C-alpha cells in the first residue's frame, strides 16, 4: 500500500497481478496480505489496495487480477513453507492457526467471486458502505461543519463535528478510519459539560464530502467548494509547487485570488447567506467495471488426492476497467471449428451485400463468407501450462498466461504495474514486449530474485 501511495494519479496504463490467496501460503514477511483471520478482512484489505490502484491507473487503463479460492476447513489450512516461522506479526500481532469461515466444512469459500462483487460494488473513497454514507451524511448535515480554515496564510479544507456525545464521534472515526476525536474544555464556563470534536482535513476532508455528497442538503455548496480547493492544490502540485505553501510565496496571482474567493464564499455559506457558485460536484469514486472473467485452464495441473470431488484444473482471472472507454488491442487466435451459418466471430465478407426486401436490412446472404485472416477474437478460456520458476518462489505466473493481458491492455511504451511482484514475471513480460514496468514486493529476497531475473533478460535482449 505504501508503495502505491507514492505513485501519482492517472499514471499507469495497465495492472497485471496475482495477490496472495486467502489463507493459503505464508510469504514470510510481516505486513503481508493473505493471513487475515476472516475472509471479510482479506477482501476489504485487498479492495482497499485496488482503490489505490484505481487512483493511479489512467482513465483508459486496464487491470487484470488472478485470484484463487480456498476450501473451508475446521482443521486450518495454513500452507507452510521454508519462510514459515512459529510466530510473527500480522495485523493483530499473531498468525492465525485456524481460519475462521462461516461456511460449512469442505465448502469452497468463493473468494474470487466475493472479491469481484466487492470490486464492482464499492463506491466511496473513504466510506465504503452505503448505510454508513447515509448515516455520516446525516450527522454532518445536522451537526457538522464543512469549512476552510485560514490561518497565517494557510488554507486548509476541513470537515468537523462537535458535540457532547463522544460515542457518536467514535463511530464517525470508526467508519472513516480517519480524523481525531478530542475533548474541548469550555474555559469560560467550567460548569458546562465537556464536548468533543472530530476533525478531518485536506484531501481526506474533500474525499469524505464526495462520499456523502448525495446525502447532503444544505451543505452541498460547501462540499463543492472544498472539493475545488483540493483540486486546485493538486493542479499546483502537478506544476511543481508546494500545495500548502503560504499565500504570496508559490501561488500565482490568479490562484491566490481564487483561494481567497473560495474562502470568502464558504464563510458566507456557513453564515447562511451564500449564493450558488456553479462549481462542479465532487467526483464520485465509481466502482470497477468487470469486462471478463477469464478461466485459466491448467492442462498440467497437480493431481489431487481428493476422491470425493473433481480435480480443480482452473483459476479465475478478472479483467477490470475504470471507464467505459479504455485502451484495448484486440487479440486473435486460430479458428478451431468449422464456421456456423453466421460464421462465428470476425468474419470478413467478400463482394457486395444486398438489400433484403423481406427484412428491410442489408444482408450478407449473397456474399461469400470467409474467416478473418487474423483469426477469431480471442476467447475467455486460456489453456496454459503452469511453469514452476526455478528460483525460490512458489506462485509464479507462466509468462504465456500474462502476455495476452499485456498486449491487449497496455500500449507499446506504456507502463505495467504489478503490486504483488513476487519473482517479477510481469516485469519480464513487459520488457519482452517493449513496455515499461513497476513492481512492488514486500519480501526482500523476492525483490532480489526479481531483479536478478530481469537483469538477465535485459542482458539477453540488448
Ligand atoms: C502470488 S505471489 C505473486 C507471484 C508473481 N505473480 C510471480 O510471477 O512471481 C504474491 C506476492 O505478493 C507478495 N506480498 C504479500 N503481501 C504483500 C503486500 N502487502 N505488499 C506487497 N507484496 C506483498 C508476496 O511476498 C508474494 O511474492
454 and 424 in contact (C-beta within 8 Å)? yes
Residue 280 lies in a domain: no
CATH number, domain with residue 170? 3.10.28.10
Residue 279 lies in a domain: no
Q: Whole domain around residue 373: which residue ranges?
A: 345-377
Clarify whether residues 364 and 416 are in a common domain: no
Q: How far is the CA of 194 from the centre of ligand 1 (A)?
A: 48
Clarify whether residues 221 and 308 are in a common domain: no
Residues 6+ apart with CB under 8 A from 109: 22, 39, 69, 70, 71, 72, 101, 103
Residue 13 lies in a domain: yes
Clarify whether residues 12 and 85 are in a common domain: yes
pLDDT single digits (tens) 158-211: 999 998 888 999 999 999 998 888 887 766 666 667 789 999 999 899 999 999
Please state the atom number of ligand 1 nearest to the C-alpha of residue 21: 1
Clarify whether residues 252 and 203 are in a common domain: yes
Counting ligand 1 atoms within 8 A of each CB, the residue from 27, 64, 84 with the most, and so the one to mutate, is 27
Tell which of 270, 296, 318 closes a domain.
Answer: 270
| Coil vs helix vs strand at 93 | coil
404 and 375 in contact (C-beta within 8 Å)? no
Q: What would the grid cell of residue 40 be? A: 471479510
Residue 340 lies in a domain: no
Clarify whether residues 245 and 307 are in a common domain: no
Residue 277 lies in a domain: no
Clarify whether residues 157 and 87 are in a common domain: no
Residue 15 lies in a domain: yes
Q: In which band, very low, low, confident or very high, does the pLDDT at 92 lie, cut at 50, 70 and 90?
A: very low
Clarify whether residues 164 and 234 are in a common domain: yes
What residue ranges line ligand 1, CB within 6 angstroms? 18, 20, 27, 29, 31-33, 393, 395-397, 420, 422-423, 425, 440-443, 446
417 and 14 in contact (C-beta within 8 Å)? yes
The pTM of this model reads: 0.79
Clarify whether residues 420 and 449 are in a common domain: yes
Length of the chain as a residue count: 462
Q: How far is the CA of 98 from the centre of ligand 1 (A)?
A: 22
Q: In which band, very low, low, confident or very high, does the pLDDT at 306 lie, cut at 50, 70 and 90?
A: confident
Question: End-to-end CA distance of the chain, in Å?
Answer: 33
Clarify whether residues 292 and 363 are in a common domain: no
Clarify whether residues 217 and 306 are in a common domain: no
Mean of pLDDT values over 12-41: 89
Residue nearest to atom 8 of ligand 1 (CA): 396
Residue 282 lies in a domain: no
Residue 337 lies in a domain: no
Q: How far is the CA of 21 from the centre of ligand 1 (A)?
A: 10
Q: Which candidate, 62, 48, 67, places its Cα nearest to that of 4?
A: 48
294 and 341 in contact (C-beta within 8 Å)? no
Number of domains in the chain: 3
Q: Of 194-203, 235-244, 402-411, where does mean pLDDT reach its minimum? A: 235-244
Amino acid at each position: 500500500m505504501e508503495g502505491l501511495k507514492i505513485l501519482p494519479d492517472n499514471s499507469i496504463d495497465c495492472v497485471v497481478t496475482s495477490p496472495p490467496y486467502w489463507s493459503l501460503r505464508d510469504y514470510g514477511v510481516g505486513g503481508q496480505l493473505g493471513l487475515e483471520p476472516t475472509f471479510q478482512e482479506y477482501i476489504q484489505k485487498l479492495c482497499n489496495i485496488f482503490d489505490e490502484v484505481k487512483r493511479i491507473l489512467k482513465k483508459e487503463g486496464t487491470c487484470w487480477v488472478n485470484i484463487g479460492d480456498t476450501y473451508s476447513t475446521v482443521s486450518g489450512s495454513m500452507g507452510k513453507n521454508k519462510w514459515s516461522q512459529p510466530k510473527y506479526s500480522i495485523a493483530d500481532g499473531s498468525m492465525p492457526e485456524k481460519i475462521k469461515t462461516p461456511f460449512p466444512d469442505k465448502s469452497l469459500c468463493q473468494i474470487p467471486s466475493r472479491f469481484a462483487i466487492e470490486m464492482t460494488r464499492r463506491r466511496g473513497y473513504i466510506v465504503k458502505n452505503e448505510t454508513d454514507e447515509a448515516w455520516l451524511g446525516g450527522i454532518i448535515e445536522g451537526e457538522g461543519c464543512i469549512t476552510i480554515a485560514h490561518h497565517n496564510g494557510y488554507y486548509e479544507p476541513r470537515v468537523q463535528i462537535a458535540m457532547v456525545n463522544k460515542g457518536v464521534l467514535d463511530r464517525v472515526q470508526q467508519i472513516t478510519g480517519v480524523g481525531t476525536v478530542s475533548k474541548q474544555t469550555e474555559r469560560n464556563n467550567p460548569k458546562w459539560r465537556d464536548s468533543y470534536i472530530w476533525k478531518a482535513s485536506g484531501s481526506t476532508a474533500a474525499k469524505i464530502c464526495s462520499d456523502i455528497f448525495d446525502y447532503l442538503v444544505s451543505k452541498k455548496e460547501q462540499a463543492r467548494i472544498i472539493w475545488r480547493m483540493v483540486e486546485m492544490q493538486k493542479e499546483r502540485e502537478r506544476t511543481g509547487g508546494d500545495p500548502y505553501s503560504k499565500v504570496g510565496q508559490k501561488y500565482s496571482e490568479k490562484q491566490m485570488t481564487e483561494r481567497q474567493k473560495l474562502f470568502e464564499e464558504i464563510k458566507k455559506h456557513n453564515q447562511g447567506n451564500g449564493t450558488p457558485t456553479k462549481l462542479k460536484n465532487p467526483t464520485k469514486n465509481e466502482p470497477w467495471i468487470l469486462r471478463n472473467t477469464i478461466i485459466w485452464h491448467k492442462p498440467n495441473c497437480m493431481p489431487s488426492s481428493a476422491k470425493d470431488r473433481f480435480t480443480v484444473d482452473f483459476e479465475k482471472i478478472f479483467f477490470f476497467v475504470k471507464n467505459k472507454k479504455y485502451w484495448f488491442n484486440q487479440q486473435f487466435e486460430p479458428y478451431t471449428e468449422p464456421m456456423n451459418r453466421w460464421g462465428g466471430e470476425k468474419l470478413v465478407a467478400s463482394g457486395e451485400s444486398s438489400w433484403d426486401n423481406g427484412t428491410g436490412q442489408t444482408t450478407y446472404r449473397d456474399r461469400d463468407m470467409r474467416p478473418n485472416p487474423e483469426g477469431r477474437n480471442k476467447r475467455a478460456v486460456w489453456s496454459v501450462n503452469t511453469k514452476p520458476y526455478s528460483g525460490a518462489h512458489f506462485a509464479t505466473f507462466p509468462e504465456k498466461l500474462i502476455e495476452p493481458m499485456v498486449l491487449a491492455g497496455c500500449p507499446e511504451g506504456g507502463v505495467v504495474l504489478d503490486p504483488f511482484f513476487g519473482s517479477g514475471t510481469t516485469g519480464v513480460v513487459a520488457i519482452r514486449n517493449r513496455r515499461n514496468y513497476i513492481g512492488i514486493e514486500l519480501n526482500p529476497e523476492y525483490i532480489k530474485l526479481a531483479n536478478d531475473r530481469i537483469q538477465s533478460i535485459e542482458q539477453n535482449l540488448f
